[in-house]
Amino acid sequence: MTDDTATPDVLIAGAGLSASLTALCLAARRPGLRILLLDRRAEPGRDHTWSFHDPDVTPESRVWLAPAIAHHWAGQEVRFPAHRRSLPTGYNTVTPGALRDAVAAQPDITVRRAEVAAAAADALHLSDGTTLRAPLILDARGQRKSPHLALGWQKFTGLELQVPDGHGLRHPVIMDATVAQRDGYRFVYCLPFGPDGLLVEDTRYSDHATLDAASCAADAMAYAQEQGWAGATELRRESGVLPIALALDARALWSAQAGGAVPIGLSAALFHPVTGYSLPMAVRAAEVIAASPRLDTADVMTRLRDFALERAREQSFLRLLNRMLFRGCPPDERYRLLERFYRLPVPVIERFYADRLTWADRLRIVTGRPPIPLHRAAACLAERPLLSETRE
Ligand SMILES: Cc1cc2nc3c(=O)[nH]c(=O)nc-3n(C[C@H](O)[C@H](O)[C@H](O)COP(=O)(O)OP(=O)(O)OC[C@H]3O[C@@H](n4cnc5c(N)ncnc54)[C@H](O)[C@@H]3O)c2cc1C
């Protein structure tokens, strides 16, 4: 890392996931740029792990992303009351340590601790009164409320456990929905980091954003005991309340950014509508930025906005699925939609997570025996009324 931060080419408010990935992509694709990230936290991204499926990122993206990937598995599985399945789709986890080391290995990227009070098109104004300027200003300060987005929630608490006699899992369990259903669609997610270490996350797709972390943690520990992982001890804990998009007015959301810094990551609502995961979108957005001929705020804003509007159009189907899940299905029945989804062919499931569904895939997902009664499905079709509710 360099100390030469006097005249950066790119200034980023925040040094979390999207900021770090954008900086790594710029360093790889546009070498020589001086990039400065400012974060209020001493250890940005601490107590997160960010995972993704192999097909979520292209082989070209993987080239610059690879140093941040700490774990890779060759397959994964899901478990439902009436259906269990192993899938041959590889899975990956980026850890805060690996991400930090990947960034620190780039001589042209600097990360500094600072509270950003305001992000403008040409400057970041810090809370200590300092103003820093650069041709390109990005705002990566994370999730924010928007009247142009109606949401459900994926909330979870994960425990990283040490299991003295080993846990026996070879691959991640992406969803174990054989557990009692509560607070919406509930499942447990397990990532085996080593023979005796794993992350066990108790997750709910809920109508409410309030997370009872203590009770989720107790449920995760009870699950570990039910699996026979005797003597499991907690090493670390992570919690999240992720946005699940039921309705979005992307045009209005981007109009509200006009004239300011370019939002990236969750602050630009760049996440998978059904999972709330943002890593794959952050990778794609970083490449849009790196491909901008002029790396200034105005040019990048136009290109990223076009990308985001196109994604929002393509994702309208995913938001419809969310409305069917959250508004068309009683909370304790929601797991049935996922159980049915996981009977589809592997390529359809992979394209669903990678946000690259074809029209044939979409048809395949909604045809067959309706997962919810037709009158309830019909009531979920319109997106606009939910936005009016949000704005009231
Ligand atoms: C525990 C957890 C696990 C997750 N797991 C996954 C996963 O497996 N896969 C996936 O794709 N997604 C996952 N997500 C969802 C999403 O990808 C993450 O939330 C991701 O970190 C969002 O990236 P971001 O850059 O938008 O925001 P963040 O990574 O949250 O970064 C925002 C940064 O801005 C800083 N900041 C905020 N305000 C200011 C300010 N005023 N001045 C200076 N700095 C400021 C914050 O300190 C923070 O470091 C997870 C989320 C959580 C919470």
Report which of 211, 196, 207 is spatially closest to residue 165, judged by C-alpha positions: 196
CB atoms within 10 A of CB 210: 9
Rounded Cα distance between 14 and 168, Å, is: 38
Rounded Cα distance between 224 and 192, Å, is: 12
Q: What is the pLDDT of residues 128-175, one digit of tens each?
A: 999 999 999 999 999 998 999 999 999 999 999 999 999 999 999 999
- Could you say which residues of the chain have pLDDT below 50? 1-5
pLDDT value of position 384: 77
51 ligand 1 Cβ < 6 A:
yes
Identify the CATH homologous superfamily for domain 10-72+91-146+247-314: FAD/NAD(P)-binding domain (3.50.50.60)
Largest CA distance in the chain: 62
Rounded Cα distance between 86 and 159, Å, is: 23
Helix, strand, coil percentages in the chain from 3-state DSSP, rounded to 5: 35, 30, 35
3-state SS, one letter per residue, for 192-203: ECCCCEEEEEEE
Rounded Cα distance between 353 and 168, Å, is: 27
What pairs with residue 236 in β-bridges? 160
140 ligand 1 Cβ < 6 A:
yes
* CB-side neighbour CA atoms (13 Å) of 178: 14
pLDDT value of position 390: 66
What is the Å distance from ligand 1's center to 18 Cα? 8
The strands making up 262-263's β-sheet, listed across from edge to edge, are 109-113, 35-39, 10-13, 136-139, 262-263
Element (H, E) at 113: strand 109-113
Under 8 Å between Cβ of 285 and 304: yes
Question: 240: helix, coil or strand?
Answer: strand
What is the Å distance from ligand 1's center to 77 Cα? 26
CB atoms within 10 A of CB 52: 24
Q: What is the pLDDT of residues 2-22, one digit of tens each?
A: 444 468 999 999 999 999 999
Which residue's CA is the closest to the ligand 1 atom numbered 6? 50
Report which of 63, 241, 250, 219 is spatially closest to residue 150, judged by C-alpha positions: 250
268 ligand 1 Cβ < 6 A:
no
Q: Are strands 10-13 and 35-39 parallel, antiparallel or unpaired?
A: parallel
What is the Å distance from ligand 1's center to 303 Cα? 23
Cα–Cα distances in Å, from 84 out to 52, 154, 219, 250, 342? Answer: 21, 22, 21, 37, 9
Query: pLDDT above 90 covers what percent of the chain?
Result: 85
Q: 332: which DSSP letter?
A: G
Distance linking the first and last C-alpha atoms of the chain: 47
Pocket test for ligand 1, best of 40, 48, 73, 100 (most atoms within 8 A of CB): 48
Q: Are strands 197-206 and 233-248 parallel, antiparallel or unpaired?
A: unpaired
Token reading at 134:
């650069």
Token reading at 149:
């987005």
Rounded Cα distance between 158 and 213, Å, is: 9
What is the Å distance from ligand 1's center to 17 Cα? 6
Q: Are strands 173-176 and 76-80 parallel, antiparallel or unpaired?
A: parallel
Rounded Cα distance between 124 and 115, Å, is: 10
141 ligand 1 Cβ < 6 A:
yes
Report which of 21, 87, 99, 31 is spatially closest to residue 57, judged by C-alpha positions: 21
What is the Å distance from ligand 1's center to 333 Cα? 30
Q: Are strands 173-176 and 233-248 parallel, antiparallel or unpaired?
A: unpaired
What is the Å distance from ligand 1's center to 307 Cα? 21
265 ligand 1 Cβ < 6 A:
yes
169 ligand 1 Cβ < 6 A:
no
- The ranges assigned to domains in the chain are 10-72+91-146+247-314, 149-169+192-242, 319-391
